Amino acid sequence: MSVTYKRVFRKNPALKDGTGKYHPQLIVWGKSATLDTLAVQMKEASSLTLGDIRSVLTNFVTAMRTELYNGHSVNIEGFGVFSLSATTEGSEKKEDCQADKIKAVRINFRASSAIRPNLDSATTRQEDRIDFVDLESQLKRLNMTGETEEEPDEGGGEDTGGGMG
């Protein structure tokens, strides 16, 4: 699996001189995966029909929403925990702290350690490995004519180490 990144310059807001650092920023390509695209992948890996999988996923979303709206968190073992949080307005007096002070509600997700990306190069399972590819280097390769892979690339080639930061 490869994840492409681009280099972005971020100014340090604490410094007024405009200094900052370059940071890798991950890029999302194309359209988002949908319930249908996930269902097709799941069908290929199981004996269930596409209709069965779609039905289960649709019912799962409905059941999860019901649990969240009833004030429960939803813990999907090996995946993560969903919960609600709110943006609120404060009150000077306890008795003024009412539901009308809730301005927005969000659904939060905390990933299980089982699905969190592991950047350790010692990861042995191929499906757990993420390779990071520099966008500029990829674009240069696509636009090059007549050059071979062995020739040096000014951008430094693929960057398979490090993380965001």
Prediction pTM value:
0.65
- Name all domains of the chain by residue range, CATH numbers in brackets: 2-117+128-143 (4.10.520.10)
Task: Show the CA angle centred on residue 106, arms to residues 102 and 112, nearest 5°.
Answer: 140
As to burial, measured by CB atoms within 10 angstroms (0-12 exposed, 13-18 middle, 19+ buried), residue 111 is exposed
Confidence of residue 153 (pLDDT cuts 50, 70, 90): very low
| pLDDT tens for each residue of 29-88 | 888 899 999 999 999 999 999 999 999 999 999 999 999 999 999 999 999 999 999 999
**Is residue 149 predicted with pLDDT exceeding 90?**
no
In sequence order, which residues have a C-beta less than 8 Å from that of residue 24 and are 6 or more positions away?
Answer: 5, 6, 7, 8, 132, 159, 162, 163, 164
